[in-house]
Structure 1
C-alpha cells in the first residue's frame, strides 16, 4: 500500500478547482503501472512522487494524463507539492520547494499560496496559416475572430489563441474531433475592475482530456506571451466557468520570471494498492 492524496488545485472552495491524484513513495512502480493507474483515475493528470536523482531537488515527479506522460504540467506541480509538504516533506529551503520533473528543476514558492516558476518555452512564435485554419475550424470560429495566436509550449504542446473578449471565449463550442492533436488554449479579457482579468479555456482531446478544468502550464505560457503587452504583469485568470468550475490562477511577472499560483486543498487522503 502506498500513500495517496487527491488535491483540488486553483480553488479556495472545495470541488471547484482541478483535482490531481498523487501517489506517494512511488519508487519501484514501472511505466505500465503508472499509465494504468492514470487511466483508471481518469483525471486530467495523475502524479507519482519519487526520490530525486538531482541533489538540488526535494523530490522527483512523474506526471501522467490518461493518454501519456508529460514532462511538465502546472496544476499537478502545485497539487503534488502540497501533498508532499502535507505528508511531512521537509524542503532544503524554508521558502521554496524544488521539484525535479521531465522539464528539469521547477521551483515552487511557498507563501499565501503555492506558486511555480514557469519553465522556458520549448516552442514559441507565430502560428502558420495551416495550423491557424485548423484551430479556427476546431473552435468553430471565423479566422477573423482570432485577434492573435502564438505557440506557448512549455512541455504539453500548447498553442495560444487570443479572442476579442471573455464572452467570446465562453461562447466557444468546439468540435473536439477536429483538433487533430493540437492542444489549444483560448484567452480573452474581462472588462477592467472585476475579480478576474481574463477567461481561459484549454482544449486537449488528444491527451484524453476534452477540456481541462484549470491549467497551470497553459496560464504560464499565456503570461510569457501576453503579460506586459496585452495583459498586466500581475493578474488573476478565471478558468473552468464553462464546465462548472471556479478556478482562479494568480499570475505575476517579476525579474523576467513568470510565477503561477493557486490555492490547494486535499479532498481525499488514504492509501492505494498498486
Structure 2
C-alpha cells in the first residue's frame, strides 16, 4: 500500500532551518508498533500520523511519535500538520480554523495560508501548564549540564518543573555563552531531570538572544524522550508559560514572547507564545509559528 507523506520545516519561513517534521497523511490501518517503526525510520524528533477524526466537526485525529515513544501532545507537530492540512484542503480562503484531535484532547487551530507551500498557524493550549514537582538543586543541575552552579539562574528565574501535557525541567542560565556550553552528562542528566515516572527533559534558557525583538534564547535536551537535542519544542514552550508565571512579574492582560531555539544546531527556529492573565491567573495561552513544505513522497508499506 502506498501512503503519502510530507516533510515540513516548522517554526521557520526558510527551508532547511527550523524543526523538520514528517507527516504521514494516510495512516489508516497502521497499528501502534508500525507507527513507531516508521517514526524510527524517519528518525526526526517527531512524526505525525493523520487519521480520520472521531467527531465530524474536527479536521483530523493525530498520533505523534518520537523515534522512541508516543507523545500525547507536541507543538511543532501541531503547527506543521495544521498548516499542511490547510494547504491540502484546497480552500480558497486565506485563513482556516479547525480542531485537531490529539491524545491530550482537542487542539483548536487557526491557519493563515501563505502561498502554495507555506503558512502560519497558532493553537490554543488544550491544557494549561501545571507545577510538576520540586526541581533539582543548583549543584545537581549544574553537574548534569556540565556547568558551574554560579551559572544557574538569573533575576527572579530559578530552576522549575512544569507540564502542559509533556513534563520539562526549566533551567535558567546567566548567559547565552552558558547555554551554548551546556552539555548533558548522561547518568547525571537522568538522575537530575528524570525519575518518579518522568522522562528526563530539560529546557535551558537565557534572556540574552541572538536577534532583536526576541525575549529568550533556549535549547532543549530530551534524552528521556528519545531526542538528544530538539531544534524547536512547542510543548516545552507551552509548559514554559508556567515558568514565566512563577518567575516573571506579569500583570493582568495579554503578554507576547518570542523564543529562539535551535541556533546551536544550525537549525534556527522562532516560537511564538502568547498568554492571557486575569486576576493574577493564567486563563489562556497560545503557541504560534510558520512552516513550509520541503519534500513529499510515498511510503510503500
Q: Which is further off, 74-83 or 172-181?
A: 172-181
Cα distance change, pair 67–134 in 1 and its aligned pair in 2 (3 A): farther
Alpha-carbon separation, structure 2, partners of 1:83 and 1:133: 44
Report the aligned-residue RMSD: 2.5
Deviation at 1:253, TM superposition (A): 1.6
The equivalent of 2:259 in structure 1 is 237
134, 139, 149: which one aligns with 1:143: 149
Q: 1:262: which partner in 2?
A: 289
Structure 1 unaligned residues grouped into runs of 5+:
none
Q: Which residue of 2 aligns with 1:197?
A: 215
Q: Which whole-Å CA distance do the structure 2 matches of 1:55 and 1:146 have between them?
A: 49
Structure 2 match to 1:119: 126
Asked if the contact 1:224–1:258 (Cα under 8 Å) also holds between the matched residues in 2, the reply is: no
Distance 2:22 2:11 in 1: 14
The structure number with the bigger radius of gyration is 2
Contact 1:126–1:149, Cα closer than 8 Å, also in 2:
no
In 2, Cα distance between the equivalents of 1:262 and 1:237?
Answer: 11
SS in 1 for 2:35: helix
* C-alpha distance 166-54 of structure 1, shift in aligned 2 (>3 A): farther
Deviation of the 1:115 alpha carbon: 1.1
Question: Structure 1 residues 61 and 146 mapped into 2: Cα distance closer, same or farther (>3 Å)?
Answer: same
**Post-superposition, which runs of at least 4 consecutive aligned residues in structure 1 deviate over 4 A?**
none
TM, length-normalised to structure 1: 0.89
Alpha-carbon spacing, 1:63–1:89, altered in 2? closer, same or farther (3 Å): farther
SS at structure 1 position matched to 2:73: coil
CA distance in 1, matches of 2:214, 2:14: 16
Shift in alpha-carbon separation, 1:228–1:257, aligned structure 2, 3 A: farther
After superposition, the Cα gap between the structure-2 partners of 1:97 and 1:174, relative to the gap in structure 1 and judged at 3 Å, is same
Provide, for residues 78-136 of structure 1, a one-character-per-residue CA deviation record: whole Å limited to 9, x for no partner.
1111122222277xxx6422111111011112247201222325641552446x65433
Q: Count residues in correspondence.
A: 270
TM-score, normalising length: structure 2: 0.81
Q: 1:247 to 1:85 in 2, by over 3 A?
A: same
CA distance in 2, matches of 1:89, 1:272: 23
The CA distance in 2 between the partners of 1:231 and 1:191, in whole Å, is: 20
Distance in 1 (CA, whole Å) between partners of 2:259 and 2:10 is 14
User: How far off is 1:169 after superposition?
Assistant: 1.7
Partner of 1:245, secondary structure, is: coil
2:173–2:205 CA contact under 8 A, matched in 1: yes
